[in-house]
Amino acid sequence: MNVLIKSSNGITQVSADSKLLSQRKVFIEGEITPEAACEFIKKIMVLNEEDSSKPIDVLINSPGGEINSGMVMYDVIQASKAPIRMFCIGRAYSMGAVLFACGNHGRYMLPHSELMLHEPLLGNRVGGNSSSIKSISESLLETKRKMNQILSKHTGKSEEEVEKATSYDHYFSPEESKSFGLCDQIVDFSVIMEG
């Protein structure tokens, strides 16, 4: 999608993404993949280079995705010098919910958005000998422990409380997200527009 911008040089056509990036708004949309993670990292790097004191708004609408890609995005969000404010604009499921919950400078949900947490899932069908399957299982349990620690850190809940909440597909309304410590505030769309 393109938008028209008026300036002293006339009218220019730019992509909506470019216009929003110039307003320090970055999207995590669709599945979290290695490619999506790289695009996200590039945008955060550019905005930090431009001005590391001005907030960046990250708008999430994602069903989740690959854990390794999400963890790289998590590292970038945590290390960004520019404050990153998280907005859930629809759904933030699985890894998307973890990324949303890790915001250190405000975690905001629109009134009809939703979070979902669960245990880490295997991406592919399991095959191989018993040693391979055992190794995969141990790796999955370690990933689960790591995810629970991260969620515990960002929600203020104990790892046991997080483990109980993630033992099945647990859907959280904005109000439930707030009471579980996943969200700071339920806001309306105008807050995103004000920037």
The residues assigned a catalytic role are: 94, 118
CA dihedral 106, 108, 22, 27 (to 10 degrees): 120
Which amino acid, 129? N
Phi, psi of 17 (to 5 degrees): -60, -40
Q: Are 123 and 95 in contact (CB under 8 A)?
A: no
Q: Is 90 helix (H, G, I), strand (E, B) or coil?
A: strand
CA proximity to 111, closest of 166, 192, 181: 192
Q: Where are the beta strands (DSSP E) in 18-103?
A: 25-29, 56-62, 84-93
Which amino acid, 96? G
Q: Are 120 and 143 in contact (CB under 8 A)?
A: yes
